[in-house]
Amino acid sequence: MNSLSPATPAVTRRAYWARLRRGLAEYRIWAVLAALLAAAAIASNGVVLRPSNLIAILFIAVPTALAALGETLVIITAGIDLSVAAIWVLSGVTGAGLAAAGIPLPLAVAAALAVGGIGGLVNGLLIAVLKVPPLITTLGTLSIGEGIARVVTGNVPILSVPNAYSALGSAYAGPLPLPVLILAAAALALTFVLARMVVGRRIYATGGNATAAHYAGLRVGATLVFVYVASGVCAALAGVVHSAYLEEAMPNVDMNALFAVIGGVVVGGTSLMGGSGNVINSIGGVLVIVVVENMMNILGVSPLLAEGVLGFIVLVAVYLNVGFNPAIFSVWLGRPASRTTAAPPAAGQEGKAQP
């Protein structure tokens, strides 16, 4: 047969089914979520699927999912960002405090997002320029960010915000909650970045093999700064939406929120070893965690037992993700792992590959 002849219908069908299988495999977390909702509906006699409960799940999940979007980019580069919890809190008290003080809403929100961007920039520069390991860097900035939030507020929560500010976390745009639309816009923007922009290809390349990416001429340092800034801005947006929904802002870090953010990314299938993952699945992973929490609350399960169940789910997800692979800790702690070690290019070949 001529190699240029049109594909036969059988070949076309096989290619179609192959693409479909790959797509289903990539987004299997949503099938897991559907099965979980069905099981929860049976166990709760349909309470979980009541419209009011589903809306409550969405409102609860949105801030965590927003922070998980930025965390996904960081983890794709084989990094980790623990400071999202502190940026969440610091940006929340910034936005709520400025709005309560009479600052126009756009300026209050912009200031809160700027706080997140600056926090992410500090993380990125420490990691990319000073080569401080991601785990150590973000653990330190987690503590610093919470300390700043406590000092700024006098360790007193902000208990009153204007209606315009609270609308960001509870208003509706037509039939859909405004926070859901904010999440959808952020997810689509980052999906476009990862799939269509040069920086997106650099993010995957950095996570897949940072040393090879460097020798290929990619700007690994700039890429790392970008993902940590993005993570900071997403965490700040989470803080704004969360404080608006609660109509208050607390200056203390919620470690359960940090667990849900990182756990959602891992449950969604983003590889802790870097190089693979997407933000849409991270939203699915967050929803799985929130639905499990919601189901156990409805069934009257002890909060202590509920935390244990969620921890078990994340541990299983981590094992399925990377297995018992100690190399991930080497990456987080700044030691070269075998998967990111590459021989230098031949003389005269440095930097010739295009980003």
pLDDT band at 20 (very low <50, low <70, confident <90, very high): low
Q: What percent of the chain is helix, strand and coil (3-state, nearest 5)? A: 70, 0, 25
Give me the long-range contacts of 41-44 (CB less than 8 A, separation at least 24).
43/295, 43/299, 44/295, 44/298, 44/299
Nearest to 157 by CA among 76, 116, 100: 100
**Is the pLDDT score of 98 beyond 50?**
yes
* pLDDT score, position 174: 87
* pLDDT score, position 331: 55
| ∠ CA 182-185-135, rounded to 5° | 85
d(CA 314, CA 298): 21
**Dihedral pair phi/psi, residue 177, rounded to 5°:** -60, 140
Nearest to 203 by CA among 81, 80, 70, 76: 76
* pLDDT score, position 345: 44
pLDDT band at 342 (very low <50, low <70, confident <90, very high): very low
Q: What are the sequence ranges of the domains in the chain? A: 28-338
Average pLDDT over every residue of 134-144 = 96
**Is the pLDDT score of 347 beyond 90?**
no
For 323, how many CA atoms within 13 A lie in the half-sphere containing its CB?
2
Amino acid at 207: G
CATH number attached to the domain at 28-338: 1.10.3470
Q: What is the DSSP letter of 276?
A: -
**Dihedral pair phi/psi, residue 148, rounded to 5°:** -65, -40
**Is the pLDDT score of 152 beyond 70?**
yes
Least confident stretch, 16-20, 157-161, 214-218:
16-20
pLDDT band at 334 (very low <50, low <70, confident <90, very high): low
Cross-strand pairs, 336: none
**Is the pLDDT score of 351 beyond 70?**
no
Q: Which helix (H) or strand (E) holds 46?
A: none
How far is the first Cα of the chain from the last one, in angstroms, to the nearest whole number?
Answer: 38
Average pLDDT over every residue of 97-121 = 97
The answer to whether the beta carbons of residues 298 and 316 sit under 8 Å apart is: no
Average pLDDT over every residue of 121-147 = 96
Average pLDDT over every residue of 8-33 = 71
